A and B are shown apart, each in its own frame.
Chain A
Amino acid sequence: MSQQNEKYEQLKAAIEEHRGEKGALMPILQKAQDIFGYVPKDVQEFIAESIGCTLSEVYGVATFYSQFTLEPHGEYVIGVCLGTACYVKGSQKVLDKISEELKVPVGKTTPDGKFTLNATRCLGACGLAPVMMINGEVYGRLVPEDIPGILAKY
């Protein structure tokens, strides 16, 4: 519980930092996503109360942007780029292969909480297409056959 309290303390400090600033809800939510790894209802309520807006406003913003998640994600987040450059070079097949290997649909987390599989927007590493990212580590010029070996590293 104390760990949870510590997180709320961090959030409180972040809110204070933005006190009086115009349009601060977005940066505060970004901070909350960072601190907690997701923005559950309790956190949204806390933010609404602290900055004096309604829960529906916070919820509206939190659900509008894909960066905010209402559920915790897995230990490793896999993002396969489905930008155009990657797509024309076969990233869909890479994504399908991961989904098949991990037995998890796109956008979901494995039951053991280890992997979350996402299809992401352009990562901008088009020179390495097709690419994917696992917790910030970039893998480029992929073919579906590379997948089992890469996943085995985690």
Chain B
Amino acid sequence: MELFRSQVLICGGTGCSSSGSGELIRLFEEKIAENGLDKEIKVVRTGCFGLCQAGPVVIVYPEGTFYSRVKAEDVEEIVTEHLLKGRPVSRLEYKDKTVQSNVEKSLEEIGFYKKQKRIALRNCGRIDPENIDEYIAFDGYKALAKVLTSMTPEQVIDEVTRSGLRGRGGAGFPTGKKWLFAYNSKNEQKYVACNADEGDPGAFMDRSVLEGDPHAVIEAMAIAGYAIGASEGYIYVRAEYPIAVKRLNVAIGQAREYGLLGKNIFESGFNFDLHIRLGAGAFVCGEETALMASVEGKRGEPRVRPPFPAVKGLFGKPTVLNNVETYANICQIILNGADWFASMGTEKSKGTKVFALGGKIVNTGLVEIPMGTTLREIIFDIGGGIPNGKKFKAAQTGGPSGGCIPAEHLDVPIDYDNLIAIGSMMGSGGMIVMDEDNCMVDIARFFLDFTVDESCGKCTPCRIGTRRMLEILERIVSGKGEDGDIEKLETLARNIKATALCGLGQTAPNPVLSTLHYFRDEYEAHIKEKRCPAHHCNALLNFEITDKCRGCTLCARNCPVGAITGTVKEKHVIDVKKCIKCGACMEKCKFGAIIKK
């Protein structure tokens, strides 16, 4: 391997790519060559660093200088000042708002990273995901070698079981147990599958692992194959993740080339190979039986379990299906041992969990924390709190299957069981923060709208029941709520939970139930007082012109229904009866004289 005196790591994850990191990589290479430094300095396109808020992110090693929101026009300065003359460009360095000093030098000192523990994400932002040698340099494929040369399948399963690892896709089923079931199913042909159909809105953990460290998943799937006795695997990944798909393909190709996939791996007689299947935009395919139907080329409709996939899965054969993040933990468990992994986390939830922090939070991005960390630590210490001086209202976890956690539960240690106890769930790891401006009834409506659209239609409770719930919620937010609506919602929710065919339907009412539990007063205000306490639902707001009005007539001229009257240079008035609450006047007013009440 060639040696370089310095390396420029540039995030090539979806977030930073969207804000132009691809162009930065090209420019850095160009400017470095122009200055004759291309033999000394290497540009590396890595996976996600996690701090998407600061993207595009550029890190210069060995110093570890962290540059944020780098623009194309900044590249020349970084190259000539920092790389050529050794003077870091301080105006571009990331300023951490969570600590006193204004400039931070190294990654570990930044508040965002301090409380994190990166196991599943350990290589993300550290290696070039398209270069298998870099993965191998960080102990890559060592776990597979250890398993194939010195462990029996039973020992592998035992190690995973003792580690306490539970499925990171949401439900939290013990991974070792799942493998044991598949191991015990006798069949000549078995399959290993990976669920990378990450559909929860606001969740992008799996994508980041695939983009940043695809070999970790490939290696773990081979280990699972050895453990249960399967020689073939399928990765089902969302077509909406083009970068992840590309890197997986590159990685699989390289692994085959190195003999780490294919026949007789490590001369052990073990054969294993992988196929990639792309999703086509159906949320329900995240459900395991639907996913397998989709891999088989059919409509992605779920079926009744049992039989479970471990008995009758892909193409009718025993199958182990795990989520991407679950696999990303496997190699580390094999290398460091079950006890190491089990030493982290809480009694029933071991290890770490990756969350995608989004919404009304200062540091949007990807974080990996030990189980048992509190929501307060995640949101305020790591996430940097709520922007614009607003108040925290709730954190939504578990996507359309989960619930909203209010401020009173900020200090609950996060693990599978605690989240269920407070009416939400771990889910795949999306965590959306909401502030006082978000209406919780509207959030419930938003999620129901999602489930109605994504319901596959196979079973009646989900197909029709969720639609009835949505209709009621739509009525409530548009100011037409009636007495008894809350009770109707509760009855429907109970029945759908009890009777829907699959996880999608059974959990669809959760966003409504959890907001009803913690924010019932907001529902009541909408229904009884025709008022939206968060000032969000337009139909329930009245627009008013305040004394700031200069009488410029702009609002009156832009009102589509002629609801505003007044003479030039005098305060105007809105006729609330005529007003259709479109908000056009408020948008046009140059003096901030129009308010919503």
Q: Which residues of A contact B (CB under 8 A)?
A: 22-27, 29-30, 60-61, 64-68, 82-85, 87-89, 121-129, 131, 138, 140, 144-145
Contacting B239 at CB < 8 Å: which of A22, A67, A124, A127? A67
Report the tally of A-B residue pairs with Cβ distances under 8 A. 129
Q: Which residues of A contact B241 (CB under 8 A)?
A: 124
Q: Which residues of A contact B15 (CB under 8 A)?
A: 124-128
Contact B446 A87 (CB under 8 A): yes
Q: Which residues of A contact B434 (CB under 8 A)?
A: 88
Q: Which residues of B contact A84 (CB under 8 A)?
A: 201-202, 358-359, 396, 399, 430, 432, 446-447
Contacting A27 at CB < 8 Å: which of B278, B300, B315, B359? B278
Q: How far is the CA of A125 from the CA of B365 in the complex (A)?
A: 9
Q: Which residues of A contact B297 (CB under 8 A)?
A: 22-27, 61
For chain B, residues 406 to 452, give those with C-beta under 8 angstroms from any C-beta of chain A.
430, 432, 434, 438, 443, 446-447
Contact A65 B18 (CB under 8 A): no
Q: Is B247 an interface residue (CB 8 A)?
A: no
Q: Is B326 an interface residue (CB 8 A)?
A: no
Contact A65 B358 (CB under 8 A): no
Q: Interface residues of B, CB < 8 Å — how many?
A: 50
For chain B, residues 445 to 480, give those with C-beta under 8 angstroms from any C-beta of chain A.
446-447, 456
A90 to chain B, nearest CB (A): 9
Q: Count chain A CB atoms within 10 A of each CB in B207, B283, B299, B456 and give the residue with the most.
A: B299
Q: Count chain B CB atoms within 10 A of each CB in A61, A68, A83, A138 and give the residue with the most.
A: A83
What 6 pairs across the A-B complex have the smallest Cβ distances?
A127-B52, A85-B358, A65-B280, A23-B297, A83-B201, A66-B281
Q: How far is the CA of A129 from the CA of B438 in the complex (A)?
A: 15
B409 to chain A, nearest CB (A): 19
Q: Which residues of A contact B119 (CB under 8 A)?
A: none
Contact B282 A122 (CB under 8 A): no
Q: Which residues of B contact A88 (CB under 8 A)?
A: 359-360, 432, 434, 438, 443
Q: How far is the CA of A24 from the CA of B277 in the complex (A)?
A: 10
Provide 12 A-B residue pairs closer than 8 Å at the C-beta atoms, listed in order of the A residue: A23-B295, A26-B294, A61-B297, A64-B300, A84-B432, A85-B201, A88-B359, A88-B360, A124-B15, A124-B207, A127-B358, A128-B55
Contact B277 A23 (CB under 8 A): yes
Contact B280 A30 (CB under 8 A): yes
Q: Which residues of B contact A82 (CB under 8 A)?
A: 201
Q: Which residues of A contact B298 (CB under 8 A)?
A: 23, 25, 61
Contacting B296 at CB < 8 Å: which of A22, A60, A121, A145? A22
Q: How far is the CA of A21 from the CA of B294 in the complex (A)?
A: 14
Of all chain B residues, which has the CB nearest A136?
B242
Q: Which residues of B contact A27 (CB under 8 A)?
A: 277-278, 297
Contact B18 A131 (CB under 8 A): yes
Q: Which residues of A contact B396 (CB under 8 A)?
A: 84
Of all chain A residues, which has the CB nearest B365?
A127
Q: Which residues of A contact B280 (CB under 8 A)?
A: 26, 29-30, 65-68
Q: How far is the CA of A84 from the CA of B361 in the complex (A)?
A: 13
Contact B283 A85 (CB under 8 A): no
Q: How far is the CA of A84 from the CA of B315 in the complex (A)?
A: 35
Q: Which residues of B contact A67 (CB under 8 A)?
A: 239, 279-281
Q: Is B559 an interface residue (CB 8 A)?
A: no
Q: How far is the CA of A140 from the CA of B432 in the complex (A)?
A: 18
Q: How far is the CA of A22 from the CA of B399 in the complex (A)?
A: 33
Q: Which residues of A contact B346 (CB under 8 A)?
A: none
Q: Is B364 an interface residue (CB 8 A)?
A: yes
Of all chain B residues, which has the CB nearest A57?
B298
- How does the 8 Å CB contact mask read for B346-374 relative to A, with 1 for contact and 0 for none? 00000000001011100011000000000
Q: How far is the CA of A25 from the CA of B240 in the complex (A)?
A: 19
With A131-B18, A140-B19 known as contacts, the answer to whether A89 contacts B359 (CB < 8 A) is: yes
Contact A125 B14 (CB under 8 A): yes
Contacting A122 at CB < 8 Å: which of B202, B279, B295, B443? B202
Q: How far is the CA of A84 from the CA of B364 in the complex (A)?
A: 13
Q: Is B199 an interface residue (CB 8 A)?
A: yes
Contact A126 B356 (CB under 8 A): yes
List 10 other contacts, CB 8 Å, given A123-B14, A126-B15, A126-B52.
A30-B280, A60-B299, A84-B396, A84-B432, A85-B364, A87-B446, A122-B201, A125-B14, A126-B202, A128-B15
Q: Is B254 an interface residue (CB 8 A)?
A: no
Contacting A127 at CB < 8 Å: which of B53, B299, B438? B53
Contact A129 B299 (CB under 8 A): no
A149 to chain B, nearest CB (A): 15
Q: Is B204 an interface residue (CB 8 A)?
A: yes
Q: Is B575 an interface residue (CB 8 A)?
A: no
Q: Which residues of B contact A121 (CB under 8 A)?
A: 199, 201, 240, 281, 283
Contact A122 B204 (CB under 8 A): yes
Q: Is B382 an interface residue (CB 8 A)?
A: no
Q: Which residues of B contact A129 (CB under 8 A)?
A: 358-359, 364
With A24-B297, A26-B297 known as contacts, the answer to whether A124 contacts B14 (CB < 8 A) is: yes
